[in-house]
Structure formats: structure tokens, C-alpha cells
Structure 1
């Protein structure tokens, strides 16, 4: 069975629980009376333990309460064609899985018709989205820090290649006010000049294209299957089956056909910056 996103999330949670106890894999396998190779495959998501086996591991590690319930719940439906998260604990697990996919990505494509792509957002823009979206004030700093930390995948040495297909509407929507938007547009322009980042704008004049159906992420990794990530206000969805990946890759190709080239996109970005600067005077 392929390493599904949910199986990988379960494996990552089990590995983190073990490491939190300061235990090496072989040391823990000896304590548990299980083969170290089996535990390793469970922790990588290559194989999936049964719920009762997960419970045994967590009990041996002293994991209790909500954390115990969250990890055990991941052991159900790991081979399903879709991973849907509607409850907050599931959404937290999906966020952890998303960070893992991004940090190990070779290529990331984001189709973002209405907002600046997450990996290219400034801290002010992030905070404006979260405060406007009703995130509790006490959680904004932590959530913003997590999102900012995700940028490492495109700024580190040997970064992932990032293709951002951004709707023109995202350049015009004044999220957070003029100053926040001006900083965001300038930052987007600067980041678009990095050799591993391609930012192309989809103009209003382009007509219908799949971006009008909503934004999404397509993440590719070395030697592992790609994943598509979709998010809305109340849920998240991971897709990994071949037919779904093919459909969204085709959607990327269609959006790219509607987008301006890099030079034209930078011209449009410059115009958007000037428009905001004039309004700020």
C-alpha cells in the first residue's frame, strides 16, 4: 500500500511521541517486544499499525488524554482515497502533515485566485487574515509563527521549486489596509525574483480557468507520490490517488495557459504597487 497522507501523519505522530521520551528506535522496539523494522515502517507510513497496536505503543510511551485520542483516531481510514478533516484535532493533524510534505518537497505549486499564496505572505498580511477570520487573539501569534516557519522550504539552501499562480484579484484585495497590502505586494515582487520561485499572475481578462473553482496546493516529493491539499473555512482535504493528482495537474496546466508570463506578471505587480502608493499619499 502506498504511503497515504494519513498514514504518514500517523507515523510521524508515533515517531514524535517516541522521540519525546528520548528513546531510540531499537531501544523502544526491545521494550515493546516488536521488530525494529516493523516499527520503522509504521513510523514512515509505509505500513499502518492497527488501532490496538497504536494504543499499545502510546500506552508504553505514557501518552494520555487528548493527545492519545488524537493519535489513535489517525489509525482509522488510513487507506481511504481522501483524508477529510472537519474537527479541530483532525485539522491540527493535517497541518502537521502539510508541514511535513512541504519540508520534504521538490516542487510546490499553489493556485491562489483570491489571496496571496501562504508561502509568500508577510507577517502583517497573515495576521490580518487570521484576525479577520475570527482566530482567537491568543492563538494568532502561534499560528502566524507556524505559517512564517513554513517559508523555510523555499528560502533555505537547496530550496523547493515554487510555482505561484496568483489571481489578479489577490493584488487588489486590500487585506489589512493600505500599509499592510503595500508591504505584501513589495515582498511578493522581491520573492518572485528568487531563482527557485516563479510567480505568474492570472489576469481578470483571462476568462474561465480552473482557478475560478478555488485554490489548491500540489506538492511533489522525490520518489514519493504527490498530494493535493484543499482548504476551506471549516475543513481540509488531502487527495493522493492517481486520478485526482492527474486531474489537478491538468488544472495547473490550464491555469498556467491563462496566466501572464513572468515579465508581464512583474509589470502588473509594479502597477499594483504604484496604485496602492498613490492611494496612500
Structure 2
């Protein structure tokens, strides 16, 4: 008996199905992305990203699309399914981890939390616990995060630059000894030949990376990819134009940051402000 196939031929993955429906509906209307943006009052590039599956947009945008295409509630229902499905995010993160291990150079911007490559066990444990991990799962995640630090060790370690918003250093973990250990590690690792750490002072004001942490990876084939992350999700970005825009934003932020030498002094001053009373374990 021949194998059955879906009549529609459309994806069963919620996020991809949502993107496919948007493309089909727009094609049926015979309008361009730019025309759609003009008629609904949103930047047309947003609809392009939604059709590529790069973003889901917000509920108000999806409701407007439902009204425009005459599909009351259908797109919003697909949007809710896509929003609840984390499969694609897990797959993107898995692919990012594979690329990170192969990268020839890495550069990063931290909004509020240190990058995993610079975290100590105590710091990582508290950050991961806040995210909901506990018990054996928490132990495994801390161990896995610590193993990633090996990427920056050894003679063939790739160059790594991390721009840290001042807010990162102004947000200590509750365990005082863990925070001191973390700052001491930052000061130590900043002296390695392959690691550059720069602090972006609050006085620098608003900038183009204010809402997300980003990691850039230069790959063996000379391509650059970006992993952008906020508190709720992460996204692997490989589109050349988007990567270029993010790179320009990163370069502008780097120009606002303190020099590596000044940044190390900033870290050491922060360390000096942490009381070292061993009898008290919390700030």
C-alpha cells in the first residue's frame, strides 16, 4: 500500500505552519510586504521576519492580520500554538552550541547576566536556579556550563571579547562568597591573551543592543552567525543582512565602552566594595 501524505503538504511544526499560512494568505491577496505594512501601519520588515519564522510578532499584530485577511481567530490560534511550542528554540540552541565549539572567534554583549563562558559555579548555580532549575537537573546544568569554559583555555583557544553592561556588575548574586569568586575570576580571565573584557558604563546612555544579549560567532567558512537571547527565548540568526545590522550596533556599543585596562580597574573596584566577612554568606 502506498504511503499516505498530507493533502495540504504544510508543516506540522507550529511556528513553521504559522509562517506558511502568513505567506499563503499574503500571496492570495496579491500584496507585497511593503504594501501590507502600509495598510496595517507596521514596519513591513516585521511581516517579512514573521513569514520567515524568525519572529512571531505580538498578539495585536496577529489580530490585525486576521482582520485584514478575513480569517477571524485562525491566525491568532496558530500564533498561540507556535508561542507555546519550544521545539524550534531547543533545536536552535543545540545548533548554536555546535557552532560555538567550532568558532574561530567569538564576541559578546551582556545586558544583565554574565555570559556562560565567564561564569563561575556559584554564579551559574544561582542564575540557573532563578530560571527554575533544581535538584539533579540543576547540578547537571552547572556542570555542563562549567565544561564550556574549556573553550577559552589552551594554546589554540579562540579570541573572545565580552562587552558587559555596567548593570551586569551591579547585579550581584545573593551568595557573597560566590559573588567575590565571580569577580575574582573576571579579573583573572581578563588578563589572558585571548580574552578581552570591556565594561559599558551606564552613562553611555541608550544604544542599539539595549534589549538583548548577543553572541557573534565567526565560523571556519568565514561566515558570522549571531545568537540573540532575552529572558524568555533565544534565536539563532544566520541571515547576512540581519547579522550585518547587529554587527554595526555592536561596533557602536564597543566604541562607547571603557578600554580593557579601565574595565579591569572597574571590576577590581567592584570587588573591593564587596564585604569579605566570611560569617555572612548573603549580601
TM-score, normalised to structure 2, is 0.67
Match of 1:195 among 181, 189, 193: 193
Higher-Rg member (1/2)? 2
- CA drift at 1:88: 4.1
RMSD of Structure 2 on Structure 1 (CA): 2.8
Match of 1:115 among 113, 116, 131: 113
- CA drift at 1:114: 1.1
Indicate the larger mover: 248-257 or 217-226: 217-226
- CA drift at 1:91: 3.4
Contact preservation (8 Å) 1:200, 1:260 = yes
Residue 82 (structure 1) aligned with residue 54 (structure 2): yes
Contact preservation (8 Å) 2:212, 2:229 = no
SS in structure 1 at match of 2:223: strand
Q: Which residue of 1 aligns with 2:101?
A: 103
Residue 238 (structure 1) aligned with residue 236 (structure 2): yes
Question: Residues 208 and 279 from structure 1, CA distance in 2 versus in 1: closer, same or farther, beyond 3 angstroms?
Answer: farther
- CA drift at 1:170: 0.9
- CA drift at 1:213: 2.4
1:215-252 deviation per Cα after TM superposition (whole angstroms, max 9, x unaligned): 11111112142111112333221111111110111011
- Deviating beyond 4 angstroms after TM superposition, the runs of 4 or more aligned structure 1 residues are 83-86, 278-281
SS in structure 1 at match of 2:104: strand
**How far apart in 1 are the matches of 2:242 and 2:148?**
25
Contact preservation (8 Å) 1:215, 1:230 = yes
**How far apart in 2 are the matches of 1:107 and 1:207?**
28
**How far apart in 2 are the matches of 1:213 and 1:89?**
23
**How far apart in 1 are the matches of 2:265 and 2:241?**
37
Give the unaligned 5+ runs of structure 2: 6-11, 21-51, 57-81
Question: Residues 214 and 233 from structure 1, CA distance in 2 versus in 1: closer, same or farther, beyond 3 angstroms?
Answer: closer
Contact preservation (8 Å) 1:124, 1:180 = yes
Q: How many residues are treated as equivalent by the alignment?
A: 210
TM-score, normalised to structure 1, is 0.67
Match of 1:94 among 92, 95, 113: 92
Structure-to-structure mapping, 1:148-163, within 5 angstroms: 148-163=146-161
Q: Which residue of 2 aligns with 1:254?
A: 252
SS in structure 1 at match of 2:273: helix
Greater relative contact order, per chain length (Cα 8 Å cut-off, separation 6+) = 1
1:152-185 deviation per Cα after TM superposition (whole angstroms, max 9, x unaligned): 2211331111010001111121223211111101
Contact preservation (8 Å) 1:104, 1:221 = yes
Contact preservation (8 Å) 1:117, 1:166 = no
**How far apart in 1 are the matches of 2:137 and 2:88?**
17
Question: Residues 94 and 104 from structure 1, CA distance in 2 versus in 1: closer, same or farther, beyond 3 angstroms?
Answer: same
- CA drift at 1:136: 3.6
